[in-house]
Amino acid sequence: MSGEGERRHVVQRGLWFEEFEIGTVYEHRPGRTLTEADNVLFTTLTMNTQALHLDAAWSAQQPGFGGQRLINSMMTFSMIVGLSVSQLTQGTLVANLGFSEVAFPKPLFAGDTLYAETECTGKRVSSSRPGEGIVNLTHIGRNQDGVIVARAARSTLVRRSPDLPG
């Protein structure tokens, strides 16, 4: 075929350190509608036998959540980070340095849709790791009604662009 050698190829990747902008909110779409099967699988895989996640009859007798089982908060936490990967860190992340300020102000239930967004809250070039920088992020999870259901601060080590000097 003529012109085939001239085609442009684009590899999906996250952002290089230099591309993160402090104060920018990155919205991660699509969201993910959580099912009862998702919740039971995650809960049993992680050995979290909390009845609020597994036992419909017991949960139906408990006050406060309308008799529903709760989506496992650790799944919610994992998912708000996971929803950010393709846009922010795919192939550019070196390491997670830590999470803090993790909170779950409202619960999720089977049938709810989780949307995630991430704000870049800070960044600096690493003083000990040439070619890398530290990026601080705040992940926020919202349900289909826009209600915040999870929040976590995260510190990451990210590669600097190989196309820039130094």
Give residue-wise pLDDT tens across range 35-93: 999 999 999 999 999 999 999 999 999 988 989 999 999 999 999 999 999 999 999 99
Q: What are the tokens at 69?
A: 């089982």
CB 156 within 8 A of CB 96: yes
Give residue-wise pLDDT tens across range 86-116: 999 999 999 999 999 999 999 999 999 999 9
User: Which residue is listed with tokens 């809250």?
Assistant: 121
**φ/ψ (deg, to 5) at 43:** -60, -45
Count CB-CB contacts under 10 A for residue 121.
Answer: 15
Give residue-wise pLDDT tens across range 21-33: 999 999 999 999 9
pTM of the predicted structure, to 2 decimals: 0.90
Q: Which domains does the chain have, with CATH numbers?
A: 22-159 (3.10.129.10)
- 60, containing H or E segment: helix 56-60
How far apart CA 98 and CA 152 sit, in angstroms, is 10
Tell me: pLDDT of 149 over 70: yes
